[in-house]
Amino acid sequence: MKNGVVKKLTAVILLASLCLSGCEKKEEEKTSIKVGVTVYDSHDTFISELMGDFNELVTKKAYESGVAISVEVMNAGWNQSTQNSNVEDMIDNGCDILCVNLVDRTAPTAIIDIARQKNVPIIFFNREPVEGDLDRWDHLYYVGTDARQSGAMQGEIAAEAFTKHPEYDRNGNGEIEYVMIEGESGHQDAIVRTEVSISKLADSGFKVKKLQSAIGNWLRPQAFTKMEQIIAEYGDEIELVMANNDDMALGAIDAYNSAKIPLEKRPVIIGIDGTDAGVVAVKNKEMYGTVFNDTKGQAEAMVDLIYAESVLGNTSGIDFSEDRVIRVPHSKIVGE
């Protein structure tokens, strides 16, 4: 009887040690991983440029490390419940880690719950979860930027334009009459850029007066339509157009082109992102300047984090800006 118990116990211990060594093996470096990515809108210019850099850097990392990294990308098409299904599908498809560009940054609960339950880490990117959400599990990360910095730099570019060129105050009344084209309401970048860009310009000693603001949802055609109406209403009273991103600044330029207003009669137009088309517009002097939202830097941070979390099983080598958050710095791009 006693012997039987000992035998059983030995078997249990043996099994436990087998399982332990099995578990240890799992934590060793992997030779292949699968990454699932879901984006809020794959047609967004900035996001598609970011994904282009991401794919290149994944290929480079795989080549340099010898780890096979496969990537599956899904488009949520502005729909949070579609994105929740994207996440379930990618976990079912065997993804080891997910990169999530939230549709609704206030609604990550369902995604966090399922990922946690299935033990699949998440890197949120570009659309920042609200405070406290990342604290819900230690395998949740965020890669993005500091929205205040982008707004401040946009304000600095405007201040520099009006300091170097006092004649840009077309009516010479000592006040800058401006139009603000805003991104999606509720998006951290839209809220903060709108506020900080103008307060920076005012803090630099300029009097400012808002003529009109309009929401363009990051989209060039929407900004074009809104700007057409604003030009019709305010004409050459407009001295400055601040757009929360380059695509909307380009929409404003489209409206000036369609109204056949020559370059020298247009206001100062400033964007944010430094997309390929945005930089061309700066070179052509259609846009005075833009703030570079570093796609390569953000893609690199995501790839490094994926590798650390899913291959090495250890993120101690990552230089976090805050707890499990990486913020990539912006820089200014000015034609002059």
Instruction: Please report how close the Cβ of residue 187 comes to ligand GAL at its closest, in angstroms.
Output: 6
Which two structure tokens, joined as six digits, stand for 70?
């496969």
Write down the least CB distance from residue 99 to ligand GAL, Å. Answer: 14
Binding-site ranges for ligand GAL (CB under 6 A): 44, 46-47, 126-127, 187, 189, 218, 245, 272-273, 293
CB of 225 to ligand GAL, least distance (A): 18
Beta carbon nearer to ligand GAL, 105 or 324: 105
- d(CA 194, CA 244) in angstroms, rounded, equals 7
The minimum distance between CB 293 and ligand GAL, in angstroms, equals 5
Whole-angstrom distance, CA of residue 298 vs CA of residue 296: 5
In whole angstroms, what is the distance from residue 140 CA to residue 129 CA? 10
Closest of 151, 113, 107, 148 to residue 129, by C-alpha: 107
Quick check: 133 and 324 in contact, CB under 8 A? no
Minimum CB separation of residue 54 from ligand GAL in Å reads: 14
Q: Which is nearer to ligand GAL, 47 or 97 (CB)?
A: 47
Is the CB of 151 or the CB of 239 nearer to ligand GAL? 151
| Residue 200 near residue 176, CB atoms below 8 Å | no
Residue 69 or 147 with smaller CB distance to ligand GAL = 147
171 token code pair? 């009516």
- CA–CA separation, 92 and 295 (whole Å): 29
Instruction: Compare residues 127 and 200 and give the one whose CB is closer to ligand GAL.
Output: 127
